[in-house]
Every structure is written in C-alpha cells, then in structure tokens.
Amino acid sequence: MDDVTILGTGSPMKDVRILGTGACVPDRIVSNDEVGAPAGVDDAWITRKTSIRERRWAAPEQATSDLATAAARAAMQAAGITAEQLSVIAVATSTPDRPQPPTAAYVQRNLGASGTAAFDVNAVCSGTVFALSAVGSIVLRRGGYALVIGADVYSRILDPADRKTVILFGDGAGAMVLGPTGRGPLVRHVALHSFGALSDLIQVPAGGSRLPLDHDGLDAGLQYFAMDGREVRRFVVEELPQLVKGFLHEAGVESQDISHFVPHQANGVMLDEVFADLSLPRATMHRTVTHYGNTGAASIPITLDAAVRQGAFRPGELILLAGFGGGMAASFALIEW
C-alpha cells in the first residue's frame, strides 16, 4: 500500500501474564428481523452477507461503563484478586459514556479501586490490544495487577436505516487481568499498526472539535457511525495476511506453530475469507460473531473469554489475537497458554 503511512511497533513482553478473563453482554437479544426491518433487509440477506444471526443491545439505562464494570468483575473473580490490588485500569472504547471524563474513571469508581490509574484508549476495534500493550508496559515497570477492558455500546450510534452498519453491531464488554506473577498464560509479543491515510473510512462525523454536533448535524444524521464497507473489506483482505506474516516473523514463530486464532469479530463471512488466506494450517479460529455480532473493541476479549470457559486452550499452545478496524488500525498479540 504505497500511498499509506504505516506506523508500526512490535515488542516482546517478558513476564506479563493473563491471570483471568471475563465478559458481559446485555440481556436483550436483537434478531435479524428486528434490526433489518428499518433498513429494508431480512434475516436471509443478513445471514448470507455476515453470518450474524443475532446480537445483544444494551438497555436504555446501561452505558459502556456498566458493561465494562461487569466484565471487569468477572475477570477479577477468575484471577482471584480484589479491587484494592489493582494498580491500573485501561478501557478500550470508541463509545465512551461521555466525551469526558474517561470511561475508565467510572469503572474505577464502580469497582472501588481508588488507588489505581485509570484511562481510556480509542483505537476503535483494535483498541483492546493497544490497551494490552500500554498496560503490559506499565506492569513490566511497576508490577502489580492491571485491568484491560474492551467495551462498546454501538447500538447508540447506529443509523437504523443504514443496512451497511446497523446489521453488524452489538454491545458488550470483555476484560483481562494482567500481572507479573509466574502463573497464567504469557503475553509473548505485541505489535501495533496505524494507517492514518485511511482515517475517513470509518468515522462518526460530528460531535468532536472538528465538527461540533448541532441541529443541522442531527438533521443530516452526522451523529451516526459511518463506514465505507467496500474499502474497509479491501483493507482487511489485502493487508491483514501480510501484517500477520510479518508479526509472526518478528515474534520468531512459524505459522504452523499457531494453535488458535482469535480475531476481531467484524463480519463472519469476511472472517472466513481472511482466515483462508492467513495460512495458519493448524489453527482453530474462534468466533462469537454469529450470536453477538461485531462488538467493537469488546469482540476480542469476549471471544477469548468464551474460548477459555469452553476449555479450548491447552498449556503450551500459542494463541494469536488480531484486531483491525477504524483508524485504520491493526494490532496483534501472541499468547502462550
């Protein structure tokens, strides 16, 4: 991609381990028929295009921080730690409770984790691995326990009539507890990439300092999530395989060494196409997109937690996490179980 600026970082992670995972999805199940009707499409069309059959949407009183807090509590219970033992909380989200303060501050308050640093990361659907990288570095320097949370409530920013977007997204949160102790899966390597020249492919046009939201913006629907689906798909299909190949080379592993692939759950049909091109001959791809849809930054930790609870991973196996989405951005983590 000659016309795209690529900023990439890769780094080994020594002695940072995942001590527990957790997830939370809302109770409300939204069918394809319900979400498709205002957009003029039906269940068969949505399933054929996306492999999504249903998704969860937050209740009116639920915000991103509520889902993030529930996922965090589940991860902390799995890790066997309390809020008093946390030193940092990072929430990856592009649908914060409010423009400020950070959603992580509400999570900190909800958990009673008064002694922590708390901040948000917005790398859209790649955000959880970006947050993992940042928090892992803090754990390496300072020790202690850290929470990495991916959480999004996309149902609040979707145009009901836009069939390109409204059919894809669900709400949810997933979390990981990180620590420097000798037990638990090891985070071996991470890499982050940003493609700023493609920043307009996925956006919410109004509501920031570039274009404050006013009555004219509301009338024009500029408060809604917008995506150039064709170009986003082209980016993922063309760029992800070579980025994965480069990441594995940098991490010092072969493609046949990967046992499990946990990608961002963008679109089930696209995931099948991409996975076929990744040349991971012994890997199992894990999916939650069929029942939860695309949950933004939450999709990787939700899917990871589902695999953990199913007992899918065995000691010594290598797991590849892969995020990709708005920015455009891509992010990878190699986990040794």
Q: In which element (H, E) is residue 130 found?
A: helix 127-142
What are residue 23's DSSP bridge partners?
174
Measured distance CA(168)–CA(228) in Å, rounded: 13
In the DSSP assignment, the letter for residue 294 is: B
Contact, 35 vs 41, CB < 8 A?
A: no
Amino acid occupying residue 85 = Q
Measured distance CA(130)–CA(9) in Å, rounded: 11
Measured distance CA(136)–CA(258) in Å, rounded: 22
Q: In which element (H, E) is residue 8 found?
A: strand 7-12
Q: Please pick, among 32, 264, 267, 286, the residue that the annotation labels catalytic.
A: 264
Measured distance CA(96)–CA(94) in Å, rounded: 6
* Cα radius of gyration rounded to whole Å, the chain: 19
Q: Please pick, among 24, 125, 260, 286, the residue that the annotation labels catalytic.
A: 125
Query: Residue holding tokens 């920015």?
Result: 327
Measured distance CA(246)–CA(82) in Å, rounded: 38
Measured distance CA(176)–CA(133) in Å, rounded: 12
Look up 267 and say whether it is catalytic.
no
Look up 264 and say whether it is catalytic.
yes
Q: Please pick, among 32, 122, 267, 294, the residue that the annotation labels catalytic.
A: 294
Nearest to 119 by CA among 105, 139, 130, 129: 105
273: Cα within 13 Å, side-chain hemisphere: 16
Q: Helix, strand or coil for residue 120?
A: strand
Can you spell out the DSSP letters for 149-215?
A: EEEEEGGGG--TT-TTTTTTB-EEEEEEEEE-SSSS-EEEEEEEEE-GGGGGGEE--SSSSSS---H
Look up 24 and say whether it is catalytic.
no
> Which residues are designated catalytic?
125, 264, 294
